């Protein structure tokens, strides 16, 4: 099969079929699919504009693409034994605090706890605590 | 058959977001050793593949996806939802 581009109508129909199957007595069969072992994953980070601008300024000062700065930051967190997580439920904000960063370098102007900080939307927080 | 990647664009991301799902969550479930299933095709209905698994916060999710490029093992998530009791049982039975 060559690369298939689903039309909007096909995709709508496929969604309707899947929802219909969910609601009937259909028992899905185990499928012989295996996750590929190699490759890369693209993850996104949601940040307020001001924090994203601060990161961009740091990347520019290093003459480094913003993407590679983010990648370096995440890899540094992993290399230092993992981040500490603090969830401020009142403000619906998740802080990822990792060692190995100078707060000034990471965020420019620290907001809340220093180091790497990322806010997530309220429904994600609800998902995390449900 | 393998699953090596997912296709995201504005269309499926907008739809998935309405169900509380984003690309990070799809990867989260995928990286957590999910189980894969296929809905048997019926008259007028194509069989879609389901990825059922847990996100890193422990919640079960069902992601519906279709194969868009078999050479690259690229799949397109088209919709999803928090797993139903039936789907969680299915996942457990295949652990």
- At A52-101, the pLDDT tens digits run 999 999 999 999 999 999 998 888 888 876 555 554 444 444 455 554 44
Contact A30 B64 (CB under 8 A): no
Alpha helices in chain A (DSSP H): 8-23, 49-61, 66-79, 103-107, 122-129
Q: How far is A113 from chain B (nearest CA, A)?
A: 22
Contact A15 B24 (CB under 8 A): no
Closest residue in B to A26 (Cα–Cα):
B39
Among the partner residues B38, B59, B70, nearest to A29 by beta-carbon distance: B38
Rounded Cα–Cα distance for residues B88 and B55 (Å): 13
Q: What average pLDDT does chain A have?
A: 71
pTM of the predicted protein model:
0.72
């Amino acid at each position: 099969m060559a690369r298939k581009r689903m039309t909007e109508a096909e995709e709508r129909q496929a969604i309707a079929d899947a929802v219909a199957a969910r609601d009937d007595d259909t028992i899905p069969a185990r499928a012989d699919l295996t996750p590929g072992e190699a490759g890369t994953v693209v993850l996104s980070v949601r940040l307020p504009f001001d924090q994203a601008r601060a990161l961009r300024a740091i990347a520019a000062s290093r003459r480094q693409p913003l993407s590679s700065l983010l990648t370096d930051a995440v890899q540094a967190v992993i290399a230092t034994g993992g981040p500490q997580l603090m969830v401020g439920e009142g403000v619906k904000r998740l802080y990822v605090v990792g060692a190995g960063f100078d707060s000034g370098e990471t965020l420019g102007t620290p907001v809340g706890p220093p180091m790497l900080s990322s806010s997530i939307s309220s429904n994600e927080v609800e998902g995390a605590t449900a | 058959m393998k699953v090596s990647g997912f296709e995201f664009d504005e269309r499926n991301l907008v739809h998935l977001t309405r169900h509380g799902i984003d690309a990070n969550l799809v990867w989260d479930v995928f990286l957590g050793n999910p189980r894969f299933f296929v809905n048997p095709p019926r008259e007028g209905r194509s069989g879609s593949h389901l990825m059922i698994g847990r996100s890193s916060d422990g919640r079960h999710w069902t992601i519906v996806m279709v194969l868009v490029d078999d050479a690259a093992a690229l799949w397109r998530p088209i919709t999803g939802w928090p797993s139903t009791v039936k789907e969680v049982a299915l996942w457990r039975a295949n652990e």
